[in-house]
Amino acid sequence: MKLWSRGLGKQELKMDFMRYAISKEGQEIVISGRITDPVNWDFWIRFDENDVPGLVRVATNRKVIGLVARRWFKKVFLFWRRHPKEAEEPLSATAESRASTSGQQ
């Protein structure tokens, strides 16, 4: 994720939510961590139940849903790819070699 603020000028902060801690403090959920590029800042983001409608609005936005779907689609179909050696050979040559080896048994 990239974060920009007018005070940063042309710089963007790079955030990696996979590396941050998530905890509960009272009635709030807290995401905390450190941004190290291009600055060295500790940060925290606090959510409470008043923020839920806004979070739901963002999560149900069709552009966000499309982004998530594309990400998961790529991960799922990555496992369904053909073996790299088979992918290099023409389909007819692969079928012929399988037929000749099965006929020898």
List pLDDT tens digits, range 38-52: 888 899 999 999 999
- Long-range pairs, 79-84, Cβ under 8 A, ≥24: none
Q: Please, are residues 3 and 15 in contact by the beta-carbon 8 Å criterion?
A: yes
pLDDT of residue 33: 94
Integer Cα distance of 2 and 26 in angstroms: 29
Res 104 pLDDT > 70 = no
d(CA 38, CA 66): 30
CA 61 to chain centre: 17
d(CA 75, CA 89) in angstroms, rounded, equals 25
Residue 6 pLDDT grade (very low, low, confident, very high; cuts 50, 70, 90): confident
Is the predicted pLDDT of residue 88 greater than 80, yes or no?
no
Band (pLDDT 50/70/90 cuts) for residue 72 is confident
pLDDT band at 24, cuts 50/70/90? very high
Residue 29 tokens, joined: 């959920």
